[in-house]
Amino acid sequence: MGMLAGPALGAAHAEPDPRPQRRPGLEQVREQIARLHDEAESATEAYNAARERTRKQRAAVIRIAKQADTAQARLNRLTDTAGAMARAQYRQGGLPAEARLLLGDDPEGFLRDVSSVRKGQHAARGVISRLSSTKSELDRYAQSAAKEWRKLEANRRKKALAKKRITARIARAERLESRLAKAERERLRELEREAARARQARWLKSEAARKLVGSPAADASPGASAGTAGASPAAARAIAWATRQIGKDYQWGATGPATFDCSGLTMRAWQAAGKRIPRTSQEQWKRLTRVPVAAMRPGDLVIYKKDASHVGLYVGDGGLLHAPRTGRQIVVEGVGSMPILGVVRPDA
C-alpha cells in the first residue's frame, strides 16, 4: 500500500528544478537596456508628433471660433435689417403695388416712388440672400470646429498612450540597471562605449565613410573639437550653438534650455542659426532636403533607425553631436555608432 501511495503523493508536489537559475550576462543586460531605450525613443518621437499636432489643432479651433463669432455678429445685423424691412411692409398694409396705385390719393406721387420701391425690393432680396449664405457659413464653421475637436481629442489620446509607453520602457531599463553592483554598472557603460566604437570602426571602412573622412584609420571616437570646414555660415552657427549644450541632460519631450531630447536639440540648434525646421526627427527626415551620406557636410542632420526615431548634428571629421537617451548627456560620438537611415540638409 505504501509503495503504491508513494508515486501518487509525489505527483501532487512538483519537484524543484535542480538546475541553478543562470543570471543574464552583462552583454545581454546591455542589449536589453538598449532595446528598451530604443523603444522609449520611438515613443518619444510619437509623443512629440502628437503634441505638435495638438498644438496646431488647438490653434485651428481658436481661429474657427473667432471666424464663427464674426459671422454670428454679421448674421445678427442682417436679421435686424430683415426684421425692420418686414415691419415696414406690415405698416404699409401688405397691399400689392397695383392696389396701392388704384386706391391711393396721389397716383402720380406713387408712380414717382416706383423706382424707390424697386430698389427697396432689390435690397430686401440682397439681405435675404446674405442671411442665407451667412447661415451656411456658420454651419461650415460648426462642422469644421467639430472635426478639429475630434482630431484634437484623438491626438491627446495618442500623446497619453505614448507617454505611458515611454515611462514604462524607461522604468524597466532603470530596474535592470539598478540590480547591478557598482562595478557591474561601470563595466556596463564600458560595454556600451565598446559597442559604439566597434560600430564606428566598421562604418569607417565603408565606401561612404572613406569618401567623407578619408582613411579608415581615422579616429573611431571623435571628440568635441571636430572641425567644421565646409559648413555653410548658418550650419557653423548651428554647430557653435549645439556645442555649448554639451554635457546637458537628455530628457524626453524637452526642447531646452536646460534639457533636450534628440530632435529638440537639432531643432533649437538650427533655430539659433535662423532656420525653422520641424520638431520631430521623422518630420525632419520627411520634409528636409536629403543628401547622400558620402556628401554630408558639417551642420547636416543624420537620421537613425528604420523608423527615423533618432537624429544628431554632424560636426565634421566623422563626429556626431547628439542627445543620446535618458540617463545620458549631450555628447560628440562617432557618426557611425548607430545604424544610419540617411542625411538631410536644413539649409539646402
Residues identified as active-site: 262, 310, 322
Which residue bears the cell 435686424? Answer: 80
Q: How many CA atoms lie within 13 A of 32 on its CB side?
A: 13
Q: CA nearest 34: which of 260, 182, 26?
A: 26
β 301-304/340-345 pair status: antiparallel
Task: Give SS3 for 323.
Answer: coil
Grid cell locating 272: 539659433
Strands, DSSP E only, in the chain? 289-291, 301-304, 310-316, 319-322, 331-334, 340-345
Cis amide leading into 257 (omega within 30): yes
Q: Which string of b and e fits 44-80 if b means at least 16 CB within 10 Å?
A: bbbbbbbbbbbeebeebbeebeebbeebeebbeebee
The residue count of the chain comes to 348
Cα 145 from Cα 65, distance rounded (Å): 7
Q: Return all residues near 276 (Cβ < 8 A) that are at least 6 apart.
A: 270
Grid cell locating 139: 454651419
- Supply the DSSP string of 103-143, one letter for each residue: H-S-HHHHHHHHHHHHHHHHHHHHHHHHHHHHHHHHHHHHH
